[in-house]
């Protein structure tokens, strides 16, 4: 290249060209369902499609509890899950009344508690 530096190509793009991975796991992080979907799709639609495709998984188990984030908030979505026999546990918004399970931590659901990391200062080497 006759002594000139090559142009630097940025790694960040304002466009997202890939797929989004969706996982449904047990409290011990064992994957149960998974899907790769278009990132423009609504995550509630993706989960409903996952449950439609593997309907036997839900039908064989009674009293399933689905823990999610605030992105799954929708009365229509919660009613659809209730029709399937699934209870949705998610954080409440500030404008909502307090939902069941507010402040619930994962280690209380049966997963092993996470060990606390202790940072030690390095001991200076002496002769």
Break the chain into its structural domains and give their ranges.
20-101
CA angle 63, 65, 68 (to 5 degrees): 160
76 Cα distance to chain centroid: 20
Query: What are 64-114's pLDDT values in tens digits?
Result: 888 888 888 889 999 999 999 999 888 877 787 777 766 655 444 445 555
The pTM assigned to this predicted structure is: 0.64
Residues above pLDDT 70, as percent of the chain: 67
Count of other CB atoms within 10 angstroms of residue 81: 22
Residues 87, 65 contacting (CB under 8 angstroms)? yes
Q: Can you tell me the distance from the alpha carbon of 57 to that of 60, in angstroms, rounded to the nearest whole number?
A: 6
């Amino acid at each position: 290249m006759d002594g000139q530096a090559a142009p630097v190509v940025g790694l960040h793009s304002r466009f997202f060209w890939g797929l989004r991975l969706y996982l449904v796991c047990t409290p011990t992080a064992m994957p149960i369902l998974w899907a790769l979907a278009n990132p423009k799709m609504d995550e509630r639609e993706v989960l409903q499609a996952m449950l439609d495709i593997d309907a036997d998984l839900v039908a064989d188990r009674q009293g399933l509890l689905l823990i999610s984030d605030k992105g799954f908030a929708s009365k229509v979505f919660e009613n659809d899950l209730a029709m399937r026999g699934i209870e949705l546990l998610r954080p409440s918004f500030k404008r909502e009344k307090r939902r069941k399970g507010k402040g619930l931590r994962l280690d209380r659901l049966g997963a092993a508690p996470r060990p606390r990391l202790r940072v030690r200062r390095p001991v200076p080497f002496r002769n």
